[in-house]
């Protein structure tokens, strides 16, 4: 059983919902990323999504785009991201870590090398934003052979065939993008989310995480009432961006704890 599966099963047994924060590795630097990862866990994160910086993050709004730019300016590489996961694993062997990024850096490394390096570092899942299921089978097979889950996105305009394809091939959890647009938008329609989740569950028994547009504790609470997990990215990156260097970890921890408390309430 993967760390992701065991985490969701433990949460289900306790009637709790998962909180999945996203940060971009290397923003503002990899040492701070490591400190943030540990703080996220202390503040109530159940799974960590770790963004692999990329020069053209097409699904991301300006906030996360700027975080990728900052990380790339400090020479953060895919191997550097995997090294920080290995450093995290030295003291945390239980919290699942999911890499979220784009196909180009993976292809530059090579599928087999990427999968093997992920396994050695302690990665639990991989979400490649720009790989639809029909283009990901080779990578999925390499990851699966090493016990690593492949996570896919679905959106409000996903057709039944696309939902079925994702339901057939995904593992770990499914990430439902709650709006048509990029990360960080502020017009989440909870009614639309409620209508879409049964369509996804008709094709998959995997937990469903909902993200994009979750800006505060109240929205996190309302989303958790209908989803299995709440994914928060841009709001956390904004906090990193606006914090003084010595105060980043504390402020992000306080933000995430507020969301954790709201979800549990």
Catalytic center residues: 49, 60
- Residue 215, classed as helix, strand or coil, is coil
CB 34 within 8 A of CB 248: no
19: Cα separation from own chain's centroid: 10
User: Token digits for 173?
Assistant: 């959890």
- Residue 73, classed as helix, strand or coil, is helix
In terms of residues, how long is the chain?
Answer: 265
Rounded Cα gap, residues 40 and 97, in angstroms: 12
CB 231 within 8 A of CB 210: yes
CA-derived radius of gyration, the chain = 17
């Amino acid at each position: 059983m993967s760390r992701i599966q065991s985490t969701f099963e433990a949460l289900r047994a306790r009637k709790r919902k998962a909180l999945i924060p996203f940060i971009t590795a290397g923003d503002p630097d990899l040492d701070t990323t490591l400190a943030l990862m540990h703080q996220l866990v202390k503040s109530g994160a159940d799974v960590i999504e770790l963004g692999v910086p990329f020069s053209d993050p097409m699904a991301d709004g300006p906030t996360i785009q700027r975080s990728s730019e900052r990380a790339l300016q400090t020479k953060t590489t895919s191997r550097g991201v995997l090294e920080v996961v290995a450093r995290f694993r030295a003291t945390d062997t239980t919290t699942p870590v999911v890499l979220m990024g784009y196909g180009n850096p993976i292809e530059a490394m090579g599928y087999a090398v990427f999968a093997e390096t992920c396994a050695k570092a302690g990665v639990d899942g991989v979400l490649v934003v720009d790989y639809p299921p029909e283009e990901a089978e080779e990578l999925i097979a390499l990851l699966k052979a090493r016990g690593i889950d492949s996570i896919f996105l679905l959106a409000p305009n996903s057709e039944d065939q696309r939902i079925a394809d994702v339901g057939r091939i995904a593992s770990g959890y499914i990430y439902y993008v709650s709006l048509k647009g990029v990360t960080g938008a502020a017009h989440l329609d909870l009614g639309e989310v409620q209508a879409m989740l049964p369509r996804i569950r008709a094709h998959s028994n995997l937990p469903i995480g909902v993200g994009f547009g979750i800006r505060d504790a109240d929205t996190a609470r309302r989303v958790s009432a209908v989803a299995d997990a709440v994914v928060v990215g841009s709001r956390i990156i904004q906090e990193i961006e606006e914090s003084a260097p010595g105060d980043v970890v504390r402020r992000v921890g306080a933000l995430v704890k507020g969301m954790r408390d709201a979800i549990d309430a």
